[in-house]
Structure 1
């Protein structure tokens, strides 16, 4: 009987020791997993922080861009560039003042819509005027300069209404095909072409 009691006591001691070891192992393993999880979370946060730091905010379009020259630099002095010409890129929605392969100045533009496209080809500067208003399209513009059909296809400012006021909803469309076939420009860009580009200058629309 005493032997049995000793045996039972020994077994209980062993079971208790195993339980203690198992509990200690489980606790340690839980802490390890918690640390690893914290480290992974820290890495994720770190990566997201780096991505956020690298991400640049999308530039906001300047809603008043139609009131200003397209570039901050001065317009070119065409007296120094006797072979200069104008290149209109429908794909880029830009007007380039070129001298050979060199671009002297770049202007934001809006060419004709698909159902009233700006004609492609090689033309030349023709007549010009201060302003006009078309009763059919119910739009006008300032500083117009013709490059085809003597007053039909023009460089001009963003549109005006019948009272001569600029139509801001249309002015904000620089950079997209939105005209009736003419080439819309900012007010200062249109004025510069109107007052500075000589008659006969080559115009390439492509």
Structure 2
């Protein structure tokens, strides 16, 4: 009888050991699964953060950079209603700001001169302007040009063209991103056309 009881007890102990081991393994696997799920969620969250950090930061009032379009998504300002118009060219930002006193009334994407070739200082819009030019020595031309220094040397104008007036897409695509000109200030086609038609001779230009 005692022998039979011992056998029963031994079987019960073995059953408990096996059950405990199975429970521990199951818990460990579940924990590992939860950890993997947590890590995946964390990775997904991190990925979303990284993605959001590289999202386009174009201000809401600006169009995305496109040399064929105007820089802002609103109408150009009516300069006849403004009393103190002047131009600020930011070499650091590659932007041209149309100002009325201390207020910016329009922002334009721009490309200034490589190797700091755009002169810095205070200038004034000069009398020289035209629909098209081509410089044989540089192999570039442009449309809607307006002189601000040295009477036809330093200009505001469109992104560059060849001698036939065809736009250089590779150069144009750098508008608003990096300095690429030979010293002039490049603008998108619509911006340059508006500038040509509306910015008056004598308007102050500050470049820094």
Question: How far apart are the structure 2 equivalents of 1:103 and 1:142?
Answer: 25
Partner of 2:117: 117
SS in 1 for 2:200: coil
CA distance, structure 2, for counterparts of residue 40 and residue 100 of structure 1: 60
The residue that corresponds to 2:186 in the other structure is: 184
Gaps of 5+ in 2: none
Identify the residue that residue 17 of structure 1 maps to in structure 2. Answer: 12
Name the CA distance, whole Å, in 2 between partners of 1:101 and 1:50.
43
Q: Is the 8 A contact 1:63 1:172 kept in 2?
A: no
Does the C-alpha gap of structure 1 residues 63 and 172 become closer, same or farther in structure 2, counting only changes over 3 Å? farther
Aligned counterpart in structure 1 of residue 30 of structure 2, from 35, 38, 43:
35
Q: Could you tell me how far apart the structure 2 residues matched to 1:60 and 1:121 are?
A: 30
Contact 2:65 2:109 in 1 (8 A): no
TM-score by length of 1: 0.88
Alignment match, 2:84: 83
Following superposition of structure 1 onto structure 2, how do residues 1-206 of structure 1 map, counting pairs within 5 Å? 12-54=7-49, 55-56=51-52, 58-59=55-56, 65-114=66-115, 117-126=117-126, 127-175=128-176, 176-206=178-208
User: Structure 1 residues 96 and 64, CA, compared in 2 at 3 Å: closer, same or farther?
Assistant: closer
Segment drifting more, 11-20 vs 22-31: 11-20
Contact 1:144 1:190 in 2 (8 A): yes
Partner Cα separation in structure 2 for residue 13 and residue 75 of structure 1? 96
Q: Is the 8 A contact 2:65 2:71 kept in 1?
A: no
**Post-superposition shift, 1:58?**
3.9
**Which secondary structure does the structure 2 equivalent of 1:65 belong to?**
coil
Give the structure with higher Rg (CA): 1
Counterparts of 2:57 and 2:171 in 1: how far apart (Å)? 18
Which blocks of at least 5 consecutive residues in structure 1 are unaligned? Answer: none
Q: CA deviation at 1:39?
A: 2.0
Query: CA shift at 1:18, angstroms?
Result: 2.8
